[in-house]
Amino acid sequence: MNSPTIIRRFVYRELFTTTLLATSVLTGILLYGNAVRSHESLFQALSLSPGLFLELLGFLVPYSMIYGIPFGFALSVLLCFGRWSSDKEILACRSLGMSIWDWGKPVFSLSLLLSALTLYANLQWAPVNRANFDRKMEEVLWTNLNLALEKEGEIEFSIGDDLNDESGASLRALGGAELSRVSISVGEIREGEWENLRILLFEKTGDLLSIVHAKRGIVEKSEEKARILLELRDIDLESGGSQEEGQSSDLFVSFERWNQPLVLDLDAKEENLNYKRMSIGQLWALSRETEDNELKRKATGLLNKSFSLGFSPFFLSLVLLPLAVTKGRKESISNMAFGIFVAVAYYGIGNLFANSASPPVLSTFGWWMPNAICLCLGLPLLLRFEKNG
């Protein structure tokens, strides 16, 4: 086996090992950041089962790898080649007649492999798992609601914090005023049905507006979001005071059923169409078939962001390899700091152009700008390094 082949295998092995380590660390940091954003939901899952908690964390891993892979690779190139350049190992390779294209082949081949993996993570793996995370969290919310009712017999929601405006509107029909919170107690929980319900509706001043008694409540859980539809049967409605406070009610009526189901959105966030949960096929169809220009622009912009970030390991390798061998340092901390600067600059430039208000084409294709900069800077640096050799 000749020397260039041995050297290339050594470079590939070291680069791969360092990339794996750096990617794992960065993915772990990003995973922690994503977990903190959903910490309440994850704590609820942990209270039910450690296995469920780990399953939910697993759904967040691909989303974290979107940035962990390219930036981990960037760090590994600077760490490895910066050290080898400082130790004169790059000079030794050149003395053997190896050009930068020879001992750089492991960098470019690994960058293409990681680009394919990052593309898959951006376009399919991450959005599908993020959607699975949301669906699993709906099950956790539903389970926790049933457990709270079985254990405490009563559960309380604040309008705006625990329940969104749509839920508030459906409950407001019972109270007839601006609501701030609602308390629900259930005598017995059956499959798809709650028996002997009592619903207390409070206004912003804390005064009790209405008391609703229902013998039965037919419960339907939405498959699309953490939403409960509650159809009341055999209802008694009191308003204007509470018997517990020694006050008489101004109104007392009874009827067989309420004319519309009560809506309880356990996820108070208002979300219409979440593009980050869509696979490449769904985004492509939306960008081509919808007649709404704004939706089409957003879908096209997210597709371009996914593709540009997917190819980022390859484009980064073009500029990082010559920079590492010319500006690299023996100290790992210096190379690491430079790598972090490159990662932040890459993301910052892409985000800056993508969020530009005008022209629209710039915001749609803005995430390609850091790749274009890497290409325009990297190729001249590679050619200059080889020429000066």
150-185 confidence digits (pLDDT tens): 666 677 777 766 666 666 677 766 665 677 778 888
Question: How far is residue 111 CA from its own chain's centroid?
Answer: 25
> What pLDDT score does 376 carry?
93
Residue 351, phi then psi, degrees to nearest 5: -65, -40
**SS3 assignment, position 181:** strand
Q: Tokens 């993020």 belong to which residue?
A: 130
> What pLDDT score does 109 carry?
93
* Dist. CA 110–CA 148, nearest whole Å: 51
Tokens describing residue 230 = 């509650």
> What pLDDT score does 312 carry?
93
For helices 50-86 and 312-327, angle between their N-to-C axes, nearest 10 degrees = 40
Tens of pLDDT, residues 278-306: 777 777 777 676 666 767 777 777 888 88
> What pLDDT score does 243 carry?
43
Strand partners, 147: none
Q: What are the mean pLDDT values of the chain's consecutive 10-residue runs (389 residues total)?
A: 78 92 93 82 77 87 92 91 84 80 89 94 88 78 69 72 65 68 80 81 78 82 66 78 48 74 65 64 71 72 86 93 80 79 89 73 78 92 80
For helices 280-289 and 293-310, angle between their N-to-C axes, nearest 10 degrees = 140
> What pLDDT score does 301 carry?
78
Tokens describing residue 151 = 């254990």
> What pLDDT score does 246 carry?
47
Instruction: Determine the Cα angle at 8 with ends 102 and 385, to 5°.
Output: 35
Long-range contacts of 377-383 (CB under 8 A, 24+ apart): 377/318, 377/319, 378/315, 378/317, 378/318, 378/319, 378/320, 378/321, 378/322, 379/318, 381/319, 381/322, 381/323, 381/326, 382/100, 382/104, 382/318, 382/321, 382/322
> What pLDDT score does 359 carry?
65
* Dist. CA 226–CA 138, nearest whole Å: 5
Burial of 388 (0-12, 13-18, 19+ CB in 10 A): exposed
* Alpha helices (H) in 153-271, listed in sequence order: 165-175
* Dist. CA 126–CA 34, nearest whole Å: 13
Residue 291, phi then psi, degrees to nearest 5: -95, -10
Rounded to the nearest 10 degrees, how much is the dihedral formed by the CA atoms of 251, 255, 257, 262? 0
CB atoms within 10 A of CB 15: 21
Read off the DSSP letter of residue 123: I
